[in-house]
Amino acid sequence: QVQLVESGGDSVQPGGSLRLSCATSGSIFRISDMGWYRQAPGKQRELVAVITSGGSRKYADSVKGRFTLFRDNTKNTVYLQMNSLKPEDTAVYYCNSKGRDPAGQSFDYWGQGTQVTVSS
């Protein structure tokens, strides 16, 4: 069993900053990709940013230059630093973690979601 615990969602004004964190725990042998997705009302879930175990990052075009994703492998935690937030960043943000358990079975888990609201 693997658990993801997210934190950091809040309401901020445009131009503000937030940092989301997501810790993966449980029956883990190795975590490969960790990342964040978001879903706004009436829209499909979309990739925000993802980082591999080797540190390679991929960002959605809409967040490049404003958001930074980094991970602490000693804590199995991924962080999303969000700067220069815009109203269109308003969404529920979901953490995703992929890897393998000690038995060699792959896993792909989602967090419960954390709300980010950008509004004046």
**Confidence band of 41 (pLDDT split at 50, 70, 90):** very high
- Summarised one tens digit per residue, pLDDT across range 42-91 is 999 999 999 999 999 999 999 999 999 999 999 999 999 999 999 999 99
**pLDDT above 90 for 27:** no
List of residues 6+ apart from 11 with CB closer than 8 A: 117, 118, 119
What is the C-alpha to C-alpha distance for residues 22 and 8, in angstroms, rounded to an integer? Answer: 9
Residue 49 CB neighbours (<10 A): 23
